[in-house]
Amino acid sequence: MYLPGLAQYTLYHMVSLTNKRIVVGVTGSIAAYKSAETVRRLRDAGAEVRVAMTRAATEFITPLTMQALSGHPVHLNLLDAQTESAMGHIELARWADAVLVAPASADFIARIAHGLADDLLSTLCLAARSPLAVAPAMNWQMWDNPATQSNVARLRERGARIFGPGSGSQACGETGPGRMLDPQDLVALLAGMFETGELAGLNVLVTAGPTWESIDPVRVITNRSSGKMGYAVAAAAMEAGARVVLVSGPTALAAPEQVECIRVMTAQEMFDAVMARVDTAQVFIGTAAVADYRPAQAATTKIKKTSATLQLDLVRNPDILASVAARTPAPFTVGFAAETVDVERNAAAKLRAKRVDLIAANLVGQAGSGFEADENRLVLIDASGTTELPLLSKLRAARELIHHIAVRYHAKNPAENPRLAHRQ
Ligand code: C5P
């Protein structure tokens, strides 16, 4: 099989689907045997995978095989109490960053082209807001049939991606177009869907996590921060094609793949690490919850709890964000504002006081959003106005933020990439 461009693509791009949530839909086609390999390769690329199969697909490959390879029960039936109670099909549709139907039979393509929702997988395709990719697999005459061609054209018009089909010998003994692409090609194409290239060629410097300011050898002053938002921002910037350096305070998180991570403890160390790198960064994103004060003098031995009260002398830490924004030239500078009340007013004040290009504000202290949570509701504020994002997973919120930054960065620096400068 010859696929122009694809071989080069897989050769030169490291395929990464780190943190991506992929629903693999399997329909009734002899190529269903390749789905096992597709799931494996998706997981090798870092994706989290859930499988949904049509009844016909289960005639070709067992749900048990797909369960073992994906690590999760397979979704088969709209009325199956067990899988539906673990994760219902609407929840699954919402969970997915992308849906890949591979193989997609002629019948299944016809059904989703017409918006039918008569089984779990077609219902899921109808309910999903995330991108849909379809890998047709069928006899070449079925593929050539004008009915199939118009169904495929209809899906394309609605934004679905059609992967393949390839050409070659078919299970029926004939030769022609209709072969499902090989799993590694599907995985490479899927990874390509996430690469926006919006920050390609740029250096992005991100701070994340809390800082620890020593009181004595066993006690610290710190801020509540898990680092999840900053790590998600670093991962999203990397997906957008940037070279990313993450300066992180103490967290329990592993650095996102391909991101250079510098671990620090105190605000002063974070300041030093940032200042050593900032001159080569075109974008700086300060998500760290930097401690505003540190003890003037850390005790060298553990302070004993002998007195009823204890006084600590604190001194101000350097403001990393404001120092970066005050440089000439300054990178495109983005700050975070965690507020407990009056989010927008406080964030707008911070935008002016610190002279940054953009503030991402969020209301903390509410259940389900902010500290330690996996989801966040951000409000993006810059000189031109306010954009409210819905409650999203931190990774999705980070991707929206990165898109927002990219649009504004390229508008400010049109000479660098005239093509992207016009994007909204
Ligand atoms: O603490 P504050 O609300 O001012 O934090 C707002 C923004 O400033 C955040 O982006 C934070 O990372 C940054 N900041 C900083 N250095 C400090 C304090 C805050 O970079 N010392």
- Percent of the chain having pLDDT more than 90? 76
Distance 354 CA to ligand 1 centre (A): 9
Asked if the model's pLDDT at residue 419 lies above 50, the reply is no
Distances (CA, A) of 123 to 75, 92, 119, 193: 12, 11, 6, 23
**Which of 3.40.50.10300, 3.40.50.1220, 3.30.43.10, 1.10.10.10 would CATH assign to domain 203-416?**
3.40.50.10300
Q: Quick one: pLDDT band at residue 221, thresholds 50, 70, 90?
A: very high
Helix (H) or strand (E) holding 13: none
Percent of the chain with pLDDT over 70: 92
- Catalytic residue flag (residue 172): yes
Mean pLDDT of 257-268: 94
Taking residues 203-207, what's their average pLDDT? 98
Q: What is the mean pLDDT of the chain?
A: 91
Residue type, 210: P
Q: What does the pLDDT look like over 264-283, one tens digit per residue?
A: 999 999 999 999 999 999 99
Cα 319 to ligand 1 centroid, rounded to whole Å: 6
Q: Which residues line ligand 1 (CB under 6 A)?
A: 207, 267, 286-288, 290, 292, 317, 319-321, 335-337, 350
Bridge partners for 220 per DSSP: 214
For the chain, what are the domain ranges? 6-193, 203-416
Residue 196 main-chain phi, psi, to 5 deg = -85, -30
Cα–Cα dist 85/81, whole Å: 6
Residue nearest to atom 19 of ligand 1 (CA): 290
Say whether pLDDT at 418 is over 80. no
Residue 370 has pLDDT above 80, yes or no: no
pLDDT of residue 18: 82
Tens of pLDDT along 151-197? 999 999 999 999 999 988 888 888 889 999 999 999 999 998 888 78
Identify the active-site residue in 172, 200, 253, 330.
172
6-193 and 203-416 agree in CATH topology: yes
Identify whether the C-beta of residue 227 lies closer than 8 Å to the C-beta of residue 207.
no
85, pLDDT greater than 60: yes
Average pLDDT over residues 404-411: 95
pLDDT at position 100 over 60: yes
Fold of the CATH domain 6-193: Rossmann fold (3.40.50)
Q: Which of 54-68, 215-229, 318-332, 406-420 has the lowest mean pLDDT?
A: 406-420
How many whole angstroms from 321 Cα to the centroid of ligand 1? Answer: 6
Q: Distances in Å between the alpha carbon of 183 and those of 38, 44, 188, 385?
A: 5, 12, 9, 45
pLDDT of residue 367: 63
Is the pLDDT assigned to residue 253 strictly greater than 90? yes
End-to-end CA, the chain: 39
Predicted confidence at residue 6, as pLDDT, reads 37
